[in-house]
Amino acid sequence: MTQQFDVLIIGSGLAGLTIALQIANTKRICIVSKREVSDSASNWAQGGIAAVLNNEDSIEEHMQDTLIAGAGLCDAEITRLVATKAREAVGWLVAQGVEFTREADNSRFHLTREGGHSQRRIVHAADATGRAVQKMLAQKVREHKNITILENHIAVDLITSQKMNKNSPENQCLGAYVLDNHTGKVITIAAQQTVLATGGAGKVYLYTTNPDVSTGDGMAMAWRAGCRVANMEFIQFHPTCLFHPHAKSFLISEAMRGEGGLLRLPDGTRFMPEHDAREELAPRDVVARAIDFEMKKRGLDCVYLDITHKPLTFIKQHFPNIYTRCLQLGIDISKQAIPVVPAAHYSCGGVMVDAQGRTDIANLYAIGETAYSGLHGANRLASNSLLECVVFGRTAANDILHASMQTISQLPQWDESRVTDADEEVLITHTWDELRRFMWNYVGIVRTDKRLSRALHRIHMLRDEVQEFYSNFKISNDLIELRNLLQVAELIVESAISRKESRGLHYSKDHPNLDAKAIPTVLAPSNYYS
């Protein structure tokens, strides 16, 4: 049975919900969410949204900070577009009912500062901005009569005209196959336009700040469908993830350093002044490498982020979520420094798109962390990610509203007539664990040619094993995610091997110097499967 909609949105984070709300009055929409709508990286975002909102700041400064953080690889036109549209994006969120933290006199938004920013320009909702934004938009999406939400469903693969007919003159996206995790059945969804808003791929690493749903699904599906990807080697490791056996992926916001938090060794000594003149407010790649260096040099399990010199009232006002969570774990951050380690946080590369979010395939869009827009370059500036979701969500929505209607022929149903129930699932759990461990050890904050070569060799072996399993047995959510993670891991490693320099988030011991010319890494499926 085929379900038909005007627009299919795969992913329920800020990017997907923004598009949905922009077009829902005139389009019938289906949102596919792997778990509940609230289970997304957007919901976990603590920091805020970067935007020029006061007279001391300027769009040029926001642009310059973004370009500097991106280490020469940001697209200048896209950077200007996003910085220019930032104020409008914040205004749209406010119009949706999002309540950002205001100054004590309520006269204006309270703006904080984060690493890499030359000004205070981060509008936020205390230290749980993503949750505040996601909660409000999710409520509006659920109430809209033109939006159908399929929770606990996972997209399996895109349906394209060239998959149906290799002689098709133009490759168009016609919809997707989607697994209903309740029933185990695969449904066919046809759509005029399909949007990939599936987030990043942090779960390819052993330690990550990302939720469990961040398995690179959109990137992998787009690649298999024929889209190019770019800059996949640039994985941002957030410098400060809480180090605690009972704290799963809990992030200590960059804003804590912006408000005076200091990084210290176990004996209380500060170390950032030795690594960078910007000290704790250096960009994330610099801080993460500094922490990694100190931990390896001294054999440490973690370093410490200290905010104890600030009054308790200040801490509770600015970081209520972090204060409460740490207290639950026995850490009073007003009296004790917080144990922290770097963890995989954000994918700066992804599916190549233009300023409207359009991919290489007609009627297929990619928005947010799934996409490579050119904004982040070799390293994302803090709080530009939620901003990108809203800005590109709005530009893509406008493009979809003006797109001409297509005639979609009958789509083939999912065929599982030649597969059986899996005899054992241990292959999936074992492979998942092995992949995440060697990606952490071989393709982490500091890389070498030998480590990358070893990683690629293991990926190819595991990929072949999983593909055989995929071909012979009925699919499951875990199998789909593992297949996607292996594909994304391969793209990350292939991209890292091809970059013979150290730039931004990619640091190679074998190639420590910076090339004179900054060139994006672009991979095309035709070069691999022709």
Tokens linked to 324: 């409460």
Closest listed residue to residue 501, CA positions, set 489, 485, 519: 519
Q: Is 284 a catalytic residue?
A: yes
H helix or E strand, kind and range, residue 291? helix 284-298
| Letter string b/e over residues 160-197, b meaning 16 or more CB atoms within 10 A of that residue's CB | bbebeeeeeeebbbbbbbbbebeeeebbbbbbbbbbbb
CA 334 to chain centroid: 31
Alpha helices in 24-145 (DSSP H): 41-44, 59-69, 76-95, 129-143
Please list, in sequence order, all residues whose beta carbon lies within 8 angstroms of the beta carbon of residue 276, skipping any fewer than 6 positions away.
282, 286, 287, 290
Q: How many CA atoms lie within 13 A of 182 on its CB side?
A: 8
Q: Which of 131, 228, 257, 284 is catalytic?
A: 284
Please list, in sequence order, all residues whose beta carbon lies within 8 angstroms of the beta carbon of residue 444, skipping any fewer than 6 positions away.
205, 237, 292
Helix and strand totals (H; E) in the chain: 16, 18
Place of tokens 């700041």: 57
Tokens linked to 50: 């970067």
Phi, psi for 308 (deg, rounded to 5): -70, -15
- Catalytic center residues: 284
